[in-house]
Amino acid sequence: MDLVSGYKGVVGLMFGNENSTSNEDRFGVVGLMFGNENSTSNEDSYVERLLDCISNGKLADDRRNAMAELQSVVAESHAAQMAFGEMGFPVLLGVLRDRDDVEMVRGALETLVSALTPIAHAKLPANEVQPALMNADLLSREGQSISLLLSLLGEDDFYIRYYTLQLLTALLTNSPIRLQEAILTIPQGITRLMDMLMDREVIRNEALLLLTYLTREAEEIQKILVFEGAFEKIFSIIKEEGGSEGGVVVQDSLELLNNLLRNNASNQVLLRETIGFDSLISILKLRGTTYSFTQQKTINLLSALETISLLLNGGLETDPSSKSNRLTNKTVLVQRNVLDHLLMLGVESQWASVAVRCAAFQCIGDLIYGHRQNLDVFASKSLGDEREVEPALNSILRIILRTSSMQEFIAADYIFKSFCEQNNDGQKMLASTLIPQPMSMTNARFEEDVNMSFGSMLLHGLAMSEHDGDLETSCRAASVLSHVMKDNIQCKEKVLQINLESSMPSLGSPEPLLHRMVKYLALASSKKGKDGKSTTPRNSYFQPIILKLLVTWLCDCPSAVESFLDSRPHLTYLIELISNGETTVCARGLAAILLGECAIYNKSSESGKDAFAIVDAISQKVGLTSYFLKLDEMQKSFLFSSEKPAQPRKPLTRSNTNSMTEMEDTEENEATDINRNDDHPMLASMFDSQFVNFIQKLEAGIRDSIVKIYSQPKSNVSVVPAELEQRKDENDRDYIKRLKIFMEKQCSEIQDLLNRNATLAEDLANMGGVGSSHTEPRPGGGSERVQIETLRRDLHEASQRLELLKTENTNIQSEASSYKNLAEKMETDLKSLSDAYNSLEEANYQLEMEVRALKSGGATPSPDIEKIKAEAREEAQKESEGELGDLLVCLGQEQTKVEKLSARLLELGEDVDALLEGKNIYVHAFSKKLLKLDKHHQKRI
């Protein structure tokens, strides 16, 4: 029997018709069996016939055979998957609803899994639709399909539950968001999935994998799982599987745990307050005596260390409770002795992989960062056996100086950064141990440094390049030293006093450590190999790290600036480094920052070393335009282009475990793959966001200081103009007048020059950074400052003149008041005089009446009476004329003074009429009264 006819019975059996010998049927079966997919219509017809048999077959065996065949063709053919997606879901979902035949339900579930699983051995063109993805989308859109699948988890049949979990996992892989939303709307949906964790091992593992996928981005599902007791079940599975010694199930359990804790402060609080951290910390505990590290054990440890790291982050930064939760987690973890296990993994277990050691160092740095109690606990930790016990800081420093792994150096360096950050006491403690060793110890190898103090070991590392040219070791030590001195003036002054002996003492006196670091900086760019070529690649990190140390050292430390400038070649070399096009953008920019610090933190008054001399050197040797362009280029580089937030570690999943555990093999590849602007890739980790922000603020200060220096002249004047000398035939008055005119002219010219000079300096400071923040006009720029100073001086002069005018006005008002009082006194005297005249008139009237009475009586006046009358009249006339003359003289004097004061008040802008209104009334009344008396007196006479 040939092969085609042999399949006749099979096809007939499937469709319930053994007599069917259609050539089309045979062609479809043969083509499908042999992988011939050229006839899409035949495959569609074949899938349709199988689905028809499943729905309408009379015999149970026929339906089962059709289901098995459908599963087979869907798992092998893209065209069959496509055809199934068009017509197969209603049929198979109907089978799942009926559940009359357990074997049919199993087959339907297995067929659905095959329809949603991409075919690995056959790849479609990129522009064609992927049938598996399309089927997953179609199934997730089917009404009540997810609810139906979750209900199958309650079936007693093992394979039904198993295939259902596989189907949900496949559906979640291709359509995660829709499945997550559907599960949240189904009552008891999460509970049914959680129940699977207590099922048989195979079911449990599938459920664990499904929950791992389900909780990666669904925060609501994470919370529900925690309230359903996920923590207890996860740690129960980990313990049952053997902890870190277990297999991939432990990895999946820890991944699920990390999904529940990542950026979720409330879940972290529940873990801490319910079952605690002891179960987690026990995973880090190494067991046995040989400490063998398999690949799976390494992955498990990395997953547990990732859990520790998530707890140390506390949650999202936007969450108000994140900070307090982070501090509490740090406190509790250290109280549970997690530091001992981390130090064991990172320091004492050197047979562990680099990835594990680096992750342990990262956790230690996070534990002590910004936490005073943890800093004290860590500072007191010691490692080693009883005979060679040393502080943990010493052991970590030795790893920094010895390790051949760049990643391990970066991770261990992060511990010192965290230890020294805002920890003045810790910095002083480390700086106090910086005592230079004798030459015999300086030349010793690291194998002999076990008994050294921290500072002696650090200085040993710094001095290594002096006798064997090991710049890498000195550079790493320089990075640690920069952490010790950061933002601590006392430590900077302490380190500034350190002098290192030369490898050949006969060549000279001990050399300051600062000068030695500048020497290494020059050595990093000039070191040559035997072939005469540079042995330091352009992407080396030696120069940037040493420059970082020097920039940190000179910042806000005038004594360090003075020591740096004590050696004239230092300034020359720094200018050459800025102008050297062979160095990296980062090195040139940091050198420019260092040169700017020599200007802004310069307190020297010595000629050639003061701030003016530094700025003049920049202008003459580099050029202000070129200098500011170097700063702009650095700010635009990869390392400084933006403020880099602390990048969270990439979540450890099954797909990236190999890359995470093989860190040693990828280091060299990273150095070639990530080559931006010729800067070494490790600098992205060393130049964190804090250092980038520090450099940006420092650069802004340098620009403003240079503008200020250009805006202000030097205080000393070397040449005295001839116009300042007094001429022979010139008197003092003319000399002073000429000097005044000369000084006014000079002040005007100087002010104009300062204005133009400041404007020029500001333009230079802003040019070269198109689109950057430096090109924005800054308030308080050079020209604006000069104008403000001019206006301030004019305002001060106007204020002084106004005060003088106010004083004169007060004096005039006081004088006017005194004259007013005098006028009132004169009026009183005039009234007294008037009363006297009235009394005299009355007496005279009485005398006249007596005379008349005598006349009327016929008697003639006696001579005595006439004489007395005449004398009295004469005496009264004299007295009145004298007093009237005195009053007229006083009145004339007062009127003259009033006229002068009125003219002065008019010049000052005062209202004279208002001030003299009262006085004029009194004077006018007085004049009228006086005139009346005079007329009356003349009449009486």
Mean pLDDT of 855-884: 65
Q: Indicate whether 52 pLDDT > 50.
A: yes
Per-residue pLDDT tens digits for 268-277: 999 999 999 9
Q: Indicate whether 14 pLDDT > 50.
A: no
> Among 263-267, 642-646, 835-839, whose mean pLDDT is lowest?
642-646
* Whole-number percent of the chain with pLDDT over 90: 37
| More confidently predicted of 606 and 663 | 606
Q: Which residues contact 254 (CB under 8 A, 6 or more apart)?
A: 234, 238, 283, 300, 303, 304, 306, 307
224-380, CATH topology level: Leucine-rich Repeat Variant (1.25.10)
Per-residue pLDDT tens digits for 121-130: 656 666 677 8
Residue 872 has a pLDDT of 65
Residue 668 has a pLDDT of 44
- Distances in Å between the alpha carbon of 38 and those of 5, 32, 121, 185, 319? 21, 10, 17, 44, 58
| More confidently predicted of 782 and 593 | 593
Task: Please say whether the beta carbons of 819 and 919 come within 8 A.
Answer: yes
Residue 366 has a pLDDT of 95
For residue 778, give the DSSP letter.
P
Strand partners for 382: 391
Two tokens at 912?
Answer: 């004279």
Residue 438 has a pLDDT of 63
The span from the CA of 349 to the CA of 206, in Å, is 34
Mean pLDDT of 315-344: 91
Two tokens at 592?
Answer: 């420019």
The span from the CA of 118 to the CA of 81, in Å, is 9
The span from the CA of 330 to the CA of 581, in Å, is 47
Residue 463 has a pLDDT of 85
CA-based radius of gyration for the chain:
51
Task: Please say whether the beta carbons of 533 and 551 come within 8 A.
Answer: no
Residue 676 has a pLDDT of 43
Residue 399 has a pLDDT of 94
> Among 5-9, 618-622, 654-658, whose mean pLDDT is lowest?
5-9
Q: Indicate whether 136 pLDDT > 70.
A: yes
Residue 164 has a pLDDT of 94
Per-residue pLDDT tens digits for 205-261: 999 999 999 998 888 899 999 999 999 999 999 999 999 899 999 999 999 999 999
Q: Which residue is it, tokens 């259902």?
A: 164
Mean pLDDT of 71-76: 91
Mean pLDDT of 125-138: 80
Task: Give CATH for domain 40-119+129-215.
Answer: 1.25.10.10
CA atoms within 13 A on the CB side of 529: 6
The span from the CA of 129 to the CA of 136, in Å, is 12
Residue 339 has a pLDDT of 95
Q: Give the model's confidence band at 571: pLDDT under 50 very low, under 70 low, under 90 confident, else very high.
A: very high
Q: Give the model's confidence band at 916: pLDDT under 50 very low, under 70 low, under 90 confident, else very high.
A: low
Average pLDDT, the chain: 79
Q: Indicate whether 892 pLDDT > 70.
A: yes
Task: Please say whether the beta carbons of 277 and 338 come within 8 A.
Answer: yes
The span from the CA of 505 to the CA of 209, in Å, is 68
Q: What is the pTM (predicted TM-score) of this model?
A: 0.73
The span from the CA of 276 to the CA of 289, in Å, is 28
Q: Indicate whether 13 pLDDT > 90.
A: no
* Whole-number percent of the chain with pLDDT over 70: 75
Degrees to nearest 5, angle at CA 346 with 341 and 348? 80
Residue 675 has a pLDDT of 43
CATH topology agreement for domains 40-119+129-215 and 224-380: yes
Phi, psi at residue 390, to the nearest 5°?
-145, 160
546-658+683-711, CATH topology level: Leucine-rich Repeat Variant (1.25.10)
Q: Indicate whether 37 pLDDT > 80.
A: no
For residue 428, give the DSSP letter.
H
Q: Any idea where the domains of the chain sit in the sequence? A: 40-119+129-215, 224-380, 546-658+683-711, 885-940
Q: Indicate whether 544 pLDDT > 60.
A: yes
CB atoms within 10 A of CB 681: 18
Mean pLDDT of 341-368: 92
